[in-house]
């Protein structure tokens, strides 16, 4: 029997279950469970600016299920990892809203890696572990960018892979700054760098900058850095040997660089100006840290000059203002290539450590207070932006009306304000009745509106046009006894093959922006275009962008295809051999 004292001691000690409930792991598990439940049903999302950007995932996933390999069999603007994760998650959750599937699929990678980070950190401080985990969950769960690209509230269906890179960089930064177990550090760094490479290569460039800083400052010893690098290149070697994925991906990147010849400096300045609300307090914080640690920095330099060694070099680099400057540089480099992102959120794990070191160290109290205030000022802008945008979009959606559709599957699970739904329908009538006016816009190289692709009415009308076109194609197939096995949409994105359970032509680019992401067609592309069964041309409205894309593809479509009017908002190039086969079958 237990004595009364022993029973009292057992009552005072928390049970294993209670300890787990209070741990960051429980929060991570609960979050994953809630997200899984939300993906089991189709949760409509309020339509937002450039909403069609996430339809690329539907096109890519459909191609992957057809056996096509990104970069090997078709041109992609970014890496393949996000598309594969989306395709896998879509199989498990077929009713999941596509925007949520695309936004949350990377948690299959970042979730386990973050679990390893908090596992190591909570050994020393559960509070620290929660402080690292909570912002990560905020940015991973709420599918919104930190920047504004439209005045009305709506879902951010664009820049998803940019957000995912920032979330990966957050995990990488947390590992480099906070993990002490070398084995966990090596694995997390290698896995995060592989994921960054295969999501977007500019993210891997930014991640390399962070890793070099950690190595120079002695946070990642040479053996650990070598082990992580070997793991990274081993995975790349397997991918290359298996399906030539790496060389094909790099060829796509080189093709993109050839199309995008903009100089870097203006884009760096643009990235800095867009994130000034964060960079100004971060810059002031760096200045305070530089002044505060100048004497120790100078002393480290003298030691390095007197007796050079790796440890002396590490002490030179292991300065908080150098860490902060390097992280900011990595962030601006990455953001210079983006439209839509969760910019510089990976500063948060570093700022947490800087504040903790200053507050708990021997720093003067006024300096510690100044550091804490500036760090908070640099931390709040991205968090408040995402919270505000999500609240505006979802609370404002209470009065929204669903988009009526027949053929859009889960892609049609969207809603918008009644006045915008009415405007979308009216504009479709105007585009049809006054087509010469919009031809004039295209001839002048202008869009009807500078923010046309961000306008909610355009995105809603575009979905309605797709819905009508599918009805028309099915009616054409039934009337002529044919089946369009391969379908191309001569537009930014091509959801038709997924919506109709058909195939997209190989080699043709997804995310078809002719100004930034479509290289000149090679023989593989031209052959694929010649054999496509039907290629659709949107006409509501005619735009200079689609006209330029058509100029790239039309030489391969003629003379083997005949152009017909499919609907009031779509023309179509139908393969003549297909029509001839249908006519012969009808005659017999």
Tell me how far apart the alpha carbons of residues 63 and 345 are, in angstroms, rounded to a whole number.
Answer: 33
CA gap 237, 191 in Å, rounded: 14
Handedness of CA 156, 162, 166, 168 (dihedral sign): positive
Cβ contacts of 199 within 8 Å, gap of 6 or more: 78, 79, 81, 82, 106, 161, 164, 165, 168
Report d(CA 70, CA 79) in Å as an integer.
8
Indicate whether this model's pTM tops 0.85: yes
Query: How far, CA to CA in Å, does 162 sit from each of 75, 137, 153, 349?
Result: 18, 16, 20, 19
Per-residue pLDDT of the chain (588 residues; tens, 9 = 90+): 455 544 454 445 556 677 777 789 899 999 999 999 999 999 999 999 999 999 999 999 999 999 999 999 999 989 999 999 999 999 999 999 999 999 999 999 999 999 999 999 999 999 999 999 999 999 999 999 999 889 999 999 999 999 999 999 999 999 999 999 999 999 999 999 999 999 999 999 999 999 999 999 999 999 999 999 999 999 999 999 999 999 999 999 988 888 876 667 888 888 999 999 999 999 999 999 999 999 888 998 888 877 787 788 889 999 999 999 999 999 999 999 888 899 999 999 999 999 999 888 756 688 889 999 999 999 999 999 999 999 999 999 999 999 999 999 999 999 999 999 999 999 999 999 999 999 999 999 999 999 999 999 999 999 999 999 999 999 999 999 999 999 999 999 999 999 999 999 999 999 999 988 888 999 999 999 999 999 999 999 999 999 999 999 999 998 899 999 999 999 999 999 887 665 555 554
pLDDT of residue 305: 79
3-state percent breakdown (helix, strand, coil) of the chain, nearest 5: 70, 5, 25
d(CA 571, CA 569): 7
Q: Is the separation of the CB atoms in 188 and 172 below 8 Å?
A: yes
Scan for tokens 């084995």, then name that residue.
183
* pLDDT at position 302: 87
Q: Please report the pLDDT score of residue 9 as a whole number.
A: 43
Cα dihedral 14/18/20/23 (nearest 10): -80
């Amino acid at each position: 029997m237990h004595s009364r004292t022993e029973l009292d001691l057992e009552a005072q000690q928390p049970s294993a279950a209670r300890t787990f409930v209070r741990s960051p792991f429980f929060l991570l598990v609960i979050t994953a469970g809630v997200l899984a439940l939300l993906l089991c049903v189709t949760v409509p999302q309020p339509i937002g600016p450039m909403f069609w950007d996430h339809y690329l995932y539907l096109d890519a996933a459909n191609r992957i299920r057809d056996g096509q390999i990104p970069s090997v069999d078709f041109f992609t603007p970014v890496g393949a990892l996000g598309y594969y994760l989306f395709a896998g998650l879509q199989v498990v959750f077929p009713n999941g809203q596509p925007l949520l599937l695309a936004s949350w699929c990377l948690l299959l990678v970042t979730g386990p890696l973050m679990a390893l980070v908090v596992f190591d950190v909570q050994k020393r401080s559960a509070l620290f572990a929660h402080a690292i985990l909570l912002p990560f969950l905020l940015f991973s769960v709420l599918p919104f960018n930190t920047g504004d690209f439209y005045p009305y509230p709506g879902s951010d269906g664009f820049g998803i892979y940019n957000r995912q890179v920032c979330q990966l960089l957050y995990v990488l930064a947390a590992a480099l700054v906070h993990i002490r177990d070398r084995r966990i550090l090596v694995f997390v760094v290698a896995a995060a760098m592989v994921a960054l490479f295969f999501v977007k290569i500019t993210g891997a460039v930014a991640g390399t900058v962070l890793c070099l800083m950690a190595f120079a400052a002695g946070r990642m010893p040479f053996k650990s850095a070598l082990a992580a690098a070997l793991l990274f290149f081993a995975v790349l070697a397997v991918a290359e040997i298996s399906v030539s994925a790496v060389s094909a991906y790099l060829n796509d990147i080189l093709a993109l660089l050839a199309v995008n010849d903009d100089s870097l400096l203006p884009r760096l300045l643009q990235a800095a100006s867009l994130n000034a609300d964060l960079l100004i307090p971060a810059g002031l914080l760096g200045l305070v840290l530089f002044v505060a640690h100048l004497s120790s920095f100078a002393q480290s330099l003298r030691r390095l000059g007197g007796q050079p060694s790796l440890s002396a070099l590490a002490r030179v680099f292991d300065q908080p203002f150098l860490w902060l400057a390097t992280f900011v540089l990595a962030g601006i480099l990455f953001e210079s290539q983006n439209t839509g992102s969760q910019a510089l959120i990976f500063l948060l794990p570093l700022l947490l450590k800087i504040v903790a070191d200053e507050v708990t160290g021997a720093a003067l109290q006024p300096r510690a207070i100044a550091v804490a205030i500036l760090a908070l000022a640099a931390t709040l802008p991205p968090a408040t932006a995402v919270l505000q945008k999500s609240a505006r979009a979802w609370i404002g959606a209470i009065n929204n009306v669903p988009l009526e559709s027949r053929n859009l599957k889960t892609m049609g699970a969207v809603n918008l304000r009644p006045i915008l739904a009415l405007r979308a329908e009216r504009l479709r009538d105007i585009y049809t009745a006054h087509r010469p006016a919009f031809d004039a816009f295209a001839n002048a190289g202008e869009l009807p509106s500078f923010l046309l692709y961000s306008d909610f009415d355009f995105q809603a009308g575009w979905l309605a046009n797709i819905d009508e076109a599918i009805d028309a194609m099915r009616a054409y197939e039934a009337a002529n006894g044919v089946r369009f096995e391969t379908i191309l949409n001569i537009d930014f994105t091509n959801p038709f093959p997924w919506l109709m359970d058909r195939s997209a032509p190989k080699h043709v680019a997804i995310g078809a922006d002719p100004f930034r992401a479509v290289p000149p067609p090679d023989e593989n592309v031209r052959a694929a275009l010649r054999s496509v069964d039907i290629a659709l041309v949107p006409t509501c409205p005619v735009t200079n962008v689609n006209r330029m894309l058509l100029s790239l593809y039309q030489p391969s479509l003629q003379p083997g295809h005949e152009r017909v009017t499919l609907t009031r908002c779509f023309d179509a190039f139908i393969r003549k051999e297909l029509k001839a086969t249908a006519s012969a079958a009808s005659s017999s």
